[in-house]
Structure 1
């Protein structure tokens, strides 16, 4: 569905431990993603090009595009049999890690919204599981070179939550991030650009 799994690479080294700095200078590149575009593998995997991210859409998934009032794309969701998967990229500092700070803020917000929170040590470090009576969430963050990739899996019940989390991991392992060279404030969402055919389809729906 997502391509062959590779050995754990640089992103998962020292997982779950404090990492004051992030270094991304290896010429060989990680064996397992998410990948920076400069080190993206030539693996023949079919990825949906969304400008700042390239996603390996799983078989049977439906694309749901979330627009903001200005007409820009706010997010792209993948609707699967086990839940909704959302992967987003953000501008980050060159060396400092952004995910620990962001995850702490998300935990505080989840608690304010009445979610039960569980912090777990995952493939790329600490991740967040949050649930209430209506949804089970899994939030994963990966710090890359001047970007942070955040993935969210939302499942309707506990039975599907584990499967949705595994689907999210597989999706993120093969995602490619295209940060670009332009300066951006930290935490700025990297712009999403829809393929022309999808953009035309959405425009036709809005006009209809």
Structure 2
């Protein structure tokens, strides 16, 4: 079963894709690299009615932490380092990277005429981060407004894109254990909360699993990410590591000490930089 590709057809024209990228870059001021993805349906959940507080994260709903008791099985998710992305049939995945260093900074999921840009930030041990981030955005953008949404208190922020056209973005933030996950929704997902595109991207965002890691990070630092790693690649890497550990533990009578006469190499093939799974646009 193929995990990536566009499925039956591409849902979005090149012009619409450029507009989505402009909207996200207007909010963040960062550049994007591109890869594409489509896969199986996301885990079926029912999101609650809008509320001023996002209760239940890690209990009945996500986004999830890898250590949550009820975290969904993310073995078949796409590994981005800071978080694991569930699959949704018909999506396009754009990987945002620093042009100078090629460091991965975040991802943008496009679905139909909508998109959500996803970033994971380090947060204090005892306090959440979203309240402070939201207050800063309100102070810096006079047109920003707080609204009640499925993820608690959200922001609506109009931005001007190429050609002078004003579009509306919807910004959500979810606090987890020492992390905050931010989503910037645009297109119909920002303006039509009852539409199919909004529901699909809300559900995808809710199923993300975050892995903060143990690295010392200051609050608001981006949690380190890496290029996409597919489930099959993760499985192959684990099997190779397990085999290597088993070889080290073997105690063979009469086994010669020191180096062998010829070098031995183990090659783990990957499709991250080339091949049919992913492609990068510079």
Give the TM-score range, shorter chain: 0.7 to 0.9
1:60-139 alignment, distance < 5 Å: 60-68=90-98, 69-111=100-142, 116-132=143-159, 133-139=165-171
Deviation at 1:118, TM superposition (A): 2.8
Which residue matches 1:169? 202
Residue range with higher mean Cα deviation, 172-181 or 187-196: 187-196
Task: Say yes or no: does 1:55 pair with 2:85.
Answer: yes
Offset at 1:117?
Answer: 2.8
Higher relative contact order (CA 8 A, sep 6+): 1
- Structure ranking higher in strand proportion: 1
Q: 1:37 aligns with which of 48, 63, 66?
A: 66
**How many angstroms apart in 2 are the aligned matches of 1:198 and 1:72?**
14
Distance 1:7 1:76 in 2: 23
Give the Cα–Cα distance (whole angstroms) in 2 for the partners of residues 96 and 157 of structure 1: 29
Q: TM-score, normalised by structure 1?
A: 0.76
Match of 1:5 among 24, 45, 48: 45
In terms of Rg, which structure is larger?
2
- The separation in 1 between residues aligned to 2:220 and 2:169, in whole angstroms, is 21
Counterpart CA distance in 2 for 1:126 and 1:188 is 22
**Does the CA contact (< 8 Å) of 1:154 and 1:161 recur in 2?**
no
2:74·2:86 contact (CA, 8 Å) conserved in 1? no
Q: Classify the secondary structure of the residue corresponding to 1:16.
A: coil
| Corresponding residue number in structure 2 for 1:197 | 271
Contiguous gaps of at least 5 residues in structure 2: 1-40, 160-164, 230-269
Quote the offset at 1:16 in angstroms: 2.3
What secondary structure, in the 3-state scheme, does the structure 2 residue paired with 1:30 have?
A: coil
Alpha-carbon deviations, 1:33-90, whole Å to 9, x = none?
Answer: 1110012634468421101111113211111122212111122111210312111110
| Deviation larger for 96-105 or 73-82 | 73-82
Q: TM-score, normalization: structure 2?
A: 0.58
Q: Distance in 2 between matches of 1:101 and 1:186?
A: 11
Contact 1:52 1:177 (8 Å CA) reproduced: yes
Paired with 2:194 and 2:80, the residues of 1 have a C-alpha distance of 27
